[in-house]
Structure 1
Amino acid sequence: MISKKIGEISFEDLKSYTNDFSEDNFIGNFQFGKGYRGKIEDFDIIVKVWTENTAPCGCFLDGTEIRMQDELILHTESRINSHPDLTNMIGCCHKRAIVYDLNPKTLRTFIVRESYSPKLIPKEVVEFSFEDLQSCTDNFSKDNFIANFQFGKVYRGKVGDYDVTVKVWMPQTLYACLPGHNEKGMEDELLVHTNSRIRSHPNLAKLIGFCHEGQLSVVYDLNPLDTLRTFIPRDDFTWAQRIRTALQLAFLLQFLHIPCPPHKRYIICNIEAAHFFLDKDYNLVLYDFSMFTHGNLLEMRRRPRICSGCYGYIDPDMHWAWERFYPTVDVFAFGIILIGLITKKAFIVEDCEFDDEDYIDGTTFLDDWAFEEYERRTYGSGDKVSLVHESLEVDPDFESADGLEATDLAMQCFAERYERPRIDEVVQQLLKLQVLRDTLNLWAFNGLKSGGTKKISKEIEEISFEDLKSYTNNFSEDNFIGNFQYGKVYRGKIGNHDVTVKVWMPETPESLYLCPPKDNENRIEGELILHTDSRIKSHPNLARLIGYCREGQLAVVYDLNPVDTLRTFLLRDDFTWLQRIKTALQLACLLQFLHTPPPPYKPYLVCNIEAAHFVLDKDYNLVLYDFSMFTGGLLPETSDYRGTPSTRGCFGYTDYEWEYADGWFYPGMDVFAFGIILVGLIAKKAFIVEELQFDDIRGADTTTYLNKWASAEYKSRKSKSGDKVSLVHESLEVDPDFESADGLEATKLAMQCMDQLFCRAKIDEVVECLKLLAFQGL
Structure 2
Amino acid sequence: MPRRWAAGFTSLLTECFCLPLIQKKCPTESDDEDEDFIMEHDHHVLTLEDLNQFTSQFSFENLVAVTDLGKLYRGKMHIGSDVKDVAVKIIYDSKNVYHYTGDDTLERFENELKILQASRIRGNPNIVKVIGYCRGEETLGIVYDLNPHDTLENLITRADFNWMQRVKIALTLARLLSYLHDRKCLIRNFAPYHIVLDQDFTPIMYEFGLLVGGVLRNKISASDFRLAPYGYIDGSLVTHGPDTFTVRSDVFAFGILLVNLISKRVVVDTRDRDDAINMWVLREFKSGRSVVHQSLVSDPVTFTVRFDVFAFGILLVNLISRRVAVNTRDRDDAINMWVLREFKSGCSVVH
TM-score above 0.5: yes
Counterpart of 1:591 in structure 2: which amino acid?
L
Q: RMSD over aligned Cα, in angstroms?
A: 2.6
1:521 and 2:106 correspond: yes
What is the CA–CA distance in structure 1 between the aligned matches of 2:49 and 2:279, rounded to whole Å? 45
Counterpart of 1:703 in structure 2: which amino acid?
D
Determine what percentage of the aligned residue pairs are the same residue. 36
Say whether the 8 Å CA contact 1:653–1:672 is kept in structure 2: yes
Q: Match for residue 144 of structure 2?
A: 558
> Which of these residues, 503, 510, 513, is aligned with residue 90 of structure 2?
503
SS of aligned partner of 1:731: helix
Shift in CA distance, 622/742, structure 1 to aligned 2, threshold 3 Å: farther
Matches within 5 A, 1:610-625: 610-625=191-206
Q: In the TM superposition, what whole-angstrom CA distance separates every residue of 1:559-610 from its partner, at most 9, and x where no partner exists?
A: 111110001111011111110000100010111111114xxxxx11111111
Say whether the 8 Å CA contact 2:134–2:141 is kept in structure 1: yes
Say whether the 8 Å CA contact 2:91–2:140 is kept in structure 1: yes
SS of aligned partner of 1:709: helix
Post-superposition offset of 1:661: 4.9
> Which of these residues, 202, 208, 217, is aligned with residue 627 of structure 1?
208
TM-score by length of 2: 0.75
Post-superposition offset of 1:684: 1.0
1:487 and 2:70 correspond: yes
Q: In the TM superposition, what whole-angstrom CA distance separates every residue of 1:599-625 from its partner, at most 9, and x where no partner exists?
A: xxxx11111111100111122111100
Listed as ranges, the gaps of 5+ residues in structure 2 are 1-19, 21-29, 326-351
Q: In the TM superposition, what whole-angstrom CA distance separates every residue of 1:122-173 from its partner, at most 9, and x where no partner exists?
A: xxxxxxxxxxxxxxxxxxxxxxxxxxxxxxxxxxxxxxxxxxxxxxxxxxxx
Shift in CA distance, 657/759, structure 1 to aligned 2, threshold 3 Å: farther
Post-superposition offset of 1:548: 1.5
> Which of these residues, 58, 61, 72, is aligned with residue 478 of structure 1?
61
Shift in CA distance, 534/445, structure 1 to aligned 2, threshold 3 Å: closer
What is the CA–CA distance in structure 2 between the aligned matches of 1:524 and 1:736, rounded to whole Å? 45
1:459 and 2:42 correspond: yes
SS of aligned partner of 2:64: strand
SS of aligned partner of 1:494: strand
Say whether the 8 Å CA contact 1:679–1:747 is kept in structure 2: no
Say whether the 8 Å CA contact 1:726–1:747 is kept in structure 2: no
Matches within 5 A, 1:355-370: none
Q: Match for residue 298 of structure 2?
A: 734
Say whether the 8 Å CA contact 1:728–1:747 is kept in structure 2: no
> Which of these residues, 659, 682, 693, is aligned with residue 262 of structure 2?
682
In our comparison, the structure showing a higher alpha carbon Rg is: 1
Post-superposition offset of 1:657: 1.3
Matches within 5 A, 1:241-320: none
What is the CA–CA distance in structure 1 between the aligned matches of 2:195 and 2:277, rounded to whole Å? 18
Counterpart of 1:677 in structure 2: which amino acid?
L
What is the CA–CA distance in structure 1 between the aligned matches of 2:205 and 2:263, rounded to whole Å? 22
Q: Larger % of helix: which? A: 2
Counterpart of 1:459 in structure 2: which amino acid?
D
Q: In the TM superposition, what whole-angstrom CA distance separates every residue of 1:650-703 from its partner, at most 9, and x where no partner exists?
A: 111000112455422210011100110100111111114xxx23xxxxxx2333
Q: In the TM superposition, what whole-angstrom CA distance separates every residue of 1:27-77 from its partner, at most 9, and x where no partner exists?
A: xxxxxxxxxxxxxxxxxxxxxxxxxxxxxxxxxxxxxxxxxxxxxxxxxxx
Q: Match for residue 649 of structure 1?
A: 228
Say whether the 8 Å CA contact 2:70–2:90 is kept in structure 1: yes
Say whether the 8 Å CA contact 1:655–1:672 is kept in structure 2: yes
Say whether the 8 Å CA contact 1:486–1:513 is kept in structure 2: no
SS of aligned partner of 1:516: coil
Counterpart of 1:538 in structure 2: which amino acid?
G
Q: Match for residue 709 of structure 1?
A: 280
What is the CA–CA distance in structure 2 between the aligned matches of 1:537 and 1:555, rounded to whole Å? 19
Post-superposition offset of 1:469: 1.1
What is the CA–CA distance in structure 2 between the aligned matches of 1:580 and 1:732, rounded to whole Å? 10
Shift in CA distance, 618/507, structure 1 to aligned 2, threshold 3 Å: closer
Shift in CA distance, 500/623, structure 1 to aligned 2, threshold 3 Å: same
Shift in CA distance, 644/621, structure 1 to aligned 2, threshold 3 Å: farther
What is the CA–CA distance in structure 1 between the aligned matches of 2:297 and 2:94, rounded to whole Å? 43
Q: Match for residue 348 of structure 2?
A: none
Aligned length: 288
What is the CA–CA distance in structure 2 between the aligned matches of 1:524 and 1:561, rounded to whole Å? 21
What is the CA–CA distance in structure 2 between the aligned matches of 1:662 and 1:646, rounded to whole Å? 8
Counterpart of 1:712 in structure 2: which amino acid?
R
> Which of these residues, 149, 161, 164, is aligned with residue 578 of structure 1?
164
Q: In the TM superposition, what whole-angstrom CA distance separates every residue of 1:83-138 from its partner, at most 9, and x where no partner exists?
A: xxxxxxxxxxxxxxxxxxxxxxxxxxxxxxxxxxxxxxxxxxxxxxxxxxxxxxxx
What is the CA–CA distance in structure 1 between the aligned matches of 2:267 and 2:280, rounded to whole Å? 11
TM-score by length of 1: 0.35
What is the CA–CA distance in structure 2 between the aligned matches of 1:760 and 1:525, rounded to whole Å? 42
SS of aligned partner of 1:543: coil
Matches within 5 A, 1:430-469: 445=36, 456-469=39-52
Shift in CA distance, 580/569, structure 1 to aligned 2, threshold 3 Å: same
Q: In the TM superposition, what whole-angstrom CA distance separates every residue of 1:352-383 from its partner, at most 9, and x where no partner exists?
A: xxxxxxxxxxxxxxxxxxxxxxxxxxxxxxxx
Post-superposition offset of 1:746: 3.0
What is the CA–CA distance in structure 2 between the aligned matches of 1:489 and 1:633, rounded to whole Å? 25
Shift in CA distance, 556/585, structure 1 to aligned 2, threshold 3 Å: same
Q: In the TM superposition, what whole-angstrom CA distance separates every residue of 1:170-201 from its partner, at most 9, and x where no partner exists?
A: xxxxxxxxxxxxxxxxxxxxxxxxxxxxxxxx
Say whether the 8 Å CA contact 2:86–2:143 is kept in structure 1: yes
What is the CA–CA distance in structure 1 between the aligned matches of 2:157 and 2:318, rounded to whole Å? 23
1:636 and 2:217 correspond: yes
Structure having greater relative contact order (Cα 8 Å, sep ≥ 6):
2
Post-superposition offset of 1:645: 6.2
Post-superposition offset of 1:643: 5.5
What is the CA–CA distance in structure 1 between the aligned matches of 2:97 and 2:226, rounded to whole Å? 12
Matches within 5 A, 1:160-239: none
Shift in CA distance, 632/759, structure 1 to aligned 2, threshold 3 Å: farther
Post-superposition offset of 1:646: 3.4
SS of aligned partner of 1:634: helix
